[in-house]
Amino acid sequence: MMMKKTWTAQVQIQETRPSVLQIACHRAAKSYPGGISAIAQDYGFNAHTFQNKLNPNEPNCINLKEFEAICRATKSQLIIDALAELLSQE
């Protein structure tokens, strides 16, 4: 008689708090003249999707192309400070 192997899935609980960098990107984009929608329009992103991705309470987040657009558009010190904080954590 052959025994079947049973595989159990391990579920990892993701941290639900937004990161310092997520919050910084959201604040920087909101404070940009015209807000998040203006950055979306300038860089050819769907405004509604972009707003959702920047919402720190939503599960989806921005990709590197969108991150670069926010950095280029806003030139925000908030983002630089958030990156410095992340890199200095042990």
Give pLDDT, residue 13: 45
Beta strands, E only, the chain: none
What integer pLDDT is reported at residue 17 of this predicted model? 82
Inter-residue long-range contacts of 4-9, CB under 8 Å, 24+ positions, other chains counted: none
Angle at 79 between CA 78 and CA 81, to 5 degrees: 65
Rounded to an integer, what distance in angstroms lies between the CA atom of residue 90 and that of residue 69?
28
**Pair 68, 53: CB distance under 8 Å:** no
Per-residue pLDDT of the chain (90 residues; tens, 9 = 90+): 565 655 555 545 455 788 999 999 999 999 999 999 999 999 999 999 999 999 999 888 999 999 999 999 999 999 999 999 999 987
pLDDT of residue 89: 83
pLDDT reported for residue 41: 98
